[in-house]
Structure 1
Amino acid sequence: MSVKLYQSLINQVKGIIDDEFGIMDDTGLIWACSNEKANGQNNPLAAEVMKAKEPFVVIDGQSFLKVYIKSKLEFIAFIKSQDKENYKYLSLISINAINLKNYYEEKYDKLNFLKGIIMDNILPGDITLRAKELHLANNVKRVVFLINTEKSKDIYTHEIIEGLFPSKNKDFVIVLDDENTVLIKELKQDFEQKEISKIAKIIIDTLSSELVKAKVGVGTVVDNIKDIGRSYKEAEMALLIGGIFDDDKQVNDYNKLGIGRLIYQLPTTSCTLFLNEVFKEGSFESLDQETMFTIQKFFENNLNVSETSRQLYIHRNTLVYRLDKIQKVTGLDLRMFDDAIIFKVAMLVKKYLDSDKRFM
């Protein structure tokens, strides 16, 4: 367990005990102390303490209590005085330290278990029994958020997420690597879908306030702990597909991938045949960036010429001229609904094929 946790306990107690006190190991190395400057130093009396048969011993004006779990020494609590009340103080410090240790070890075991589920490292038949041993509810609603961030030396994403969702027994934050963090969030039985979107937005906004660029993939809600792995894979897929078809989108929900999900599942050979069928050779590539931006705006405004020209700050006739030019190059009149659909799908197919080449 991190010595930071022991130090946190010591800091809470030092207002009660006047003398210097702390926790050290069997060599005398001080892990945590009311005088934090002493941390990392050695208590020279450790060897004598270890020789003593009794757990509680007073040596050279200092009181020591050796703490054992299953006959194994865990640590030595000490107070730099020989007051008769010291045994009580040391016992209370030790009990709290052990409880703290047990709590965080159980928490660590839970995180390892849940990580094993999402990484497919635990046999499905073992999940229910192990969950029971760890006191994890089996049949509650949960959803997985996969948070992808840029690498940062100064910002620890998991600490920010843990701060947002401090319920240690219901919500779990798992670090996969420097760029990916998983949040397994427990939901109420009568949850609404908009609550999930709200959680994803809170994550994005909070990380953004810390100057961390992030994207969030959201899996489907599952009601059995065995299905957490599926929700994770869906969140992973949502990030992947979202990155291909709408790279600017910060939150990608597996339930809202739209036509991108369909195209992603198509064989690349079929996609290539479709593009060759729709466009004459080189016609799509001949469309410059300004033309593609015009097309994008035209689609965003539901093929409305007047509204698109207004948003582009151009005359209506200028937009009509551009659309005529696109029709001449591609053979598709984007003012016609059927042609617009074909072009829109073709744009997405092209993005998919380009991404496939990128990952080859």
Structure 2
Amino acid sequence: MTTYSLSSTSEKMKLNNKIEDLQKEVPKTSFCPILSSTENLTELYEFLTAYLGSDHYLLLMENHVIVMAPVKDAFKIASGLSTALTENFYKNHTVLYYRNPCTGSLLERISELQDTSRSIVQSDLKGSLYAVEDLFLVRILEQISKEELSKFLETKRSSYEKLSYELRLTVKTFIEESLSMSRTSKVLFIHRNTLTYRIQKIHQITGLDIRNFQEALQLLTLSYFV
């Protein structure tokens, strides 16, 4: 197993050459990296090799394993991988993917995945499967003192914890769909009136109106840490 790194120019060139070789094999396919990590990296690499049927599209990094996935299949592969890891008792794992097509160089995207993964660890987020696009706020919150963040969480934690799984999923989806009633209803397979009822229920329980951008950010922050 070759271990890759972004620690020096020569290491970056070696990784970039590997990526270019993969791209040449399937020139009509656009790749996007998926980051996965657990406590035992070697064991994870072996698991991923068995899960994917080959290690051909795996890149073993110093602290993570990168799966080079076709852009159109990124979410399917990432969610399936996270489910498989959970079912095989890898409870403490992280899977990071891009919801939108990658822009810029793949080396930059891998570097961004690694930075975001460190933010997840430092922030002690709840969960295991994340889209990079959803964690932009977490990177911003790193600039806030832990005391201020803890104070905010303590004032809202008890009310947020009263939300059912259904309502928490509504919070997450509504924000992912840019506060769009129609798109959220479609994704959740519910009637618009049902969504309106859920939004009112969330407001009633937490005191936060998710239709308001500032209050939606507060709910998003709570969804990360509670």
Please, what TM-score do these two structures have when normalized by structure 2? 0.57
Does residue 206 of structure 1 match 2:78? no
- Deviation of the 1:157 alpha carbon: 1.0
What is the distance in 2 between the residues matched to 1:207 and 1:148? 10
Pick from 31, 39, 52 the counterpart of residue 165 of structure 1: 52
Residue 216 of structure 1, CA deviation: 0.3
Q: Could you say if the C-alpha distance between residues 123 and 303 of structure 1 is closer, same or farther in structure 2, counting changes exceeding 3 Å?
A: same
CA shift, 1:232, in A, is 1.1
Work out the CA distance in 2 between the residues paired with 1:123 and 1:337. Answer: 47
Letter in 2 for 1:145: I
Are 2:125 and 1:236 aligned?
Answer: no
Moved over 3 A (4+): 118-121, 123-128, 134-140, 219-224, 237-246, 265-268, 284-290, 294-309, 333-338, 341-344, 346-352
Q: More helix per residue: 1 or 2?
A: 2
- Provide the C-alpha distance between the structure 1 equivalents of 2:140 and 2:162, rounded to a whole number of angstroms: 29
**In the alignment, which residue of structure 2 is the partner of 1:184?**
68
- The equivalent residue for 1:85 is none
Match of 2:96 among 196, 200, 217: 217
Which residue is equivalent to 1:51? Answer: none
Aligned partners of 1:351, 1:238: CA distance in 2, in Å?
17
| TM-score, normalisation: structure 1 | 0.39
1:150 aligns to what SS in structure 2? coil
Query: Which of 293, 304, 320 is equivalent to 2:197?
Result: 304
Partner of 1:247: 125
Q: Separation in 2 of the partners of 1:196 and 1:267?
A: 27
SS at match of 2:90: coil
Against the structure 1 CA distance between its residues 202 and 234, is the aligned structure 2 distance closer, same or farther, given a 3 Å change threshold? same
Partner of residue 31 from structure 2, selected from 128, 131, 142: 142
Higher relative contact order, structure no. (Cα contacts within 8 Å, ≥ 6 residues apart): 2
Aligned residues: 192
Q: 2-side partners of 1:343 and 1:158: how far apart?
A: 41
Instruction: In structure 2, list runs of 5 or more residues that go unmatched.
Output: 172-194
Task: Identify the match of residue 161 of structure 2 among 272, 293, 297.
Answer: 293
- Structure 1: 5+ residue runs without aligned partners? 1-107, 276-281, 310-318, 324-332, 355-360
Alpha carbons 2:37, 2:44 under 8 Å: kept: no
Alpha-carbon distance, 1:212 to partner: 1.0
Using the TM superposition, give the Cα deviation of residue 209 of structure 1 relative to its aligned residue in structure 2, in angstroms. 2.7
Q: One-letter code of the match for 1:161? A: L
Instruction: Specify the code of the residue in structure 2 equivalent to 1:202.
Output: G
In 2, the alpha carbon distance for the partners of 1:123 and 1:175 equals 11
Q: 2 CA distance for matches of 1:242 and 1:296? A: 24
Provide the C-alpha distance between the structure 2 equivalents of 1:285 and 1:267, rounded to a whole number of angstroms: 14
Contact 1:141 1:223 in 2 (8 A): no
Alignment-derived partner of residue 84 in structure 1: none
- Is the Cα contact below 8 Å between 1:147 and 1:182 reproduced in 2? yes
Q: CA RMSD in A?
A: 4.8
Q: Which amino acid aligns with 1:200?
A: A
**Separation in 1 of the partners of 2:210 and 2:106?**
45
Q: Which residue of 1 aligns with 2:74?
A: 196
Assess, with a 3 A threshold, how the Cα gap between structure 1 residues 142 and 288 changes in structure 2: closer, same or farther: closer
1:264 to 131, 135, 139: 139
CA contact 2:33–2:97 (8 Å) conserved in 1:
yes
Residues 244 and 351 in structure 1, CA contact (< 8 A), matched pair in contact too: no
